[in-house]
Amino acid sequence: MFLDNSNHLSVIKALYFNGSIGCSEVSKITGFSIPNAQKNLTELIEEGIVIEKGFASSKGGRKPILYALVPDKFYTLSVAVDQFITKIGLVNLDNEFIGEVEYLKFNLYDKAATTDSLIRKINGFITKLTIDTTKICAIGISVPGFVDVEKGVNKNFLKDTGKSLRDYIAENTGYPTFMDNDSSAIALAELKFGIGRTKKEIMVLNIGWGIGLGMIVKGEIFRGFSGFAGEFSHIPLFKNEKICNCGKRGCLETEASLILIEQQADEAIKNGQSTTIIPDRKGHTSINSVITEAKNGDELAIKLISNAGYQIGRALAVLIHIMNPQTIVLSGKGSEAGKLWLAPIQQALNELCIPVLLNDSEVVLSTLGSNAQLIGSAALVIENIESITF
């Protein structure tokens, strides 16, 4: 496959992010005239990249033809890194995962978690694939920390090579690589495949080992002057003297992260509190077990999530007064707890927000599930498809 036509790439992007659509929709999204959009669609059909997918409904007259990408024409390799687990998946042009998503232990706080060890995990995944690996067009990777998207540098993690993390991965895997912050990737997924398709002023909360924030303003990812906007975890809300991972005291993360919930569960169990949460052999409680038991009605588990949710709500009250968002989307690993977050967050907002602002904002759960970061990492490739040489 050889693609060097920027118009073709714009059409591919439009179809990837919007599914089966007609020529007029392609024209609207790309800005091409309808004849030009049709010309590019026809050329892409001839190249075997686009197919006709039946007809759209019509209120009268001729039904428009729908067009879609050929799903297996090429793939993206999606890598989603959090502080303790790395997920890797292969994604086709229907935004579907091919085969199983692989979950790999990779503790970013461990000295053994080097860039080379991450690359070995990525290359190991690739070698096990049964598809033609020449069809992988690029790698999209999202990582926690301060990520300089332009330089491909993570200022917090995986700095051991002294080189651009993005470029080093590309050099050692053989595939073009695109990199972003984990919360920004989740926001991109929400923008392209979630609630962002209908609403343009959105705050996407990444409830994880920290509390990240991806901001969508006027339908685009907002990064701030230096590209590091959204460090929600480090809003200094508390006088608790707890030292955060950032080195400061009293950050939101010290009262409302998944790590804290695990620690609080451990302490409560050691103190003899009755609960159905079962620690592992080392006496450590996983967030998965807390969420599972909270859904099953365990009092302690519900209390831990509710307490964290209320503190998150306090921080969101500040955000609402500053940004006046239309919608706040709860995503990330913690969102697996679902509706358990909504009541305590709403309670804090009701107590602390000016009604005229709160009435215009809603808090909802993401519909993208636990793979939102992986979806965003794959979307990162297609978003930058013009930079790929096919």
Domain spans in the chain, listed from the N-terminal domain onward = 6-69, 75-186+373-387, 195-367
pLDDT given for residue 2 in this prediction: 47
pLDDT given for residue 3 in this prediction: 67
Topology (CATH) of 6-69: Arc Repressor Mutant, subunit A (1.10.10)
Residue 157 has pLDDT above 60, yes or no: yes
Residue 207 has pLDDT above 80, yes or no: yes
pLDDT given for residue 247 in this prediction: 85
pLDDT given for residue 283 in this prediction: 85
pLDDT tens per residue across span 86-109: 999 999 999 999 999 999 999 999
pLDDT given for residue 56 in this prediction: 78
6-69 and 75-186+373-387: same fold? no
pLDDT given for residue 342 in this prediction: 97
Residue 148 has pLDDT above 60, yes or no: yes
Residue 226 has pLDDT above 70, yes or no: yes
Q: What is the mean pLDDT of residues 245-269?
A: 92
Q: What is the mean pLDDT of residues 245-261?
A: 91
pLDDT given for residue 173 in this prediction: 98
At residue 257 the predicted structure's pLDDT band, cuts being 50, 70 and 90, is very high
Superfamily name and number for 195-367: ATPase, nucleotide binding domain (3.30.420.40)
Superfamily name and number for 75-186+373-387: ATPase, nucleotide binding domain (3.30.420.40)
pLDDT tens per residue across span 350-361: 999 999 999 999
Three-class DSSP labels, the chain: CCCCCHHHHHHHHHHHHHCCEEHHHHHHHHCCCHHHHHHHHHHHHHCCCEEEEEECCCCCCCCCEEEEECCCCCEEEEEEECCCEEEEEEECCCCCEEEEEEEEECCCCCCCCCHHHHHHHHHHHHHCCCCCHHHEEEEEEEECCCEECCCCEECCCCCCCCCCHHHHHHHHHCCCEEEEEHHHHHHHHHHHHCHHHCCCCEEEEEECCCEEEEEEECCEEECCCCCCCCCHHHCECCCCCCECCCCCECECHHHHCHHHHHHHHHHHHHCCCCCCCCCCCCCCCCHHHHHHHHHCCCHHHHHHHHHHHHHHHHHHHHHHHHHCCCEEEEECHHHHHHHHHHHHHHHHHHHHCCHHHHCCCEEEECCCHHHHHHHHHHHHHHHCHHHCCC
Least confident of 6-20, 51-65, 145-159, 294-308: 51-65
Report the chain's mean pLDDT, rounded to a whole number: 94
Q: What is the mean pLDDT of residues 208-221?
A: 94
pLDDT given for residue 61 in this prediction: 66
Residue 35 has pLDDT above 90, yes or no: yes
pLDDT given for residue 281 in this prediction: 84
Residue 60 has pLDDT above 70, yes or no: no
pLDDT given for residue 244 in this prediction: 87
Residue 390 has pLDDT above 80, yes or no: no
At residue 1 the predicted structure's pLDDT band, cuts being 50, 70 and 90, is very low
Q: What is the mean pLDDT of residues 42-59?
A: 89
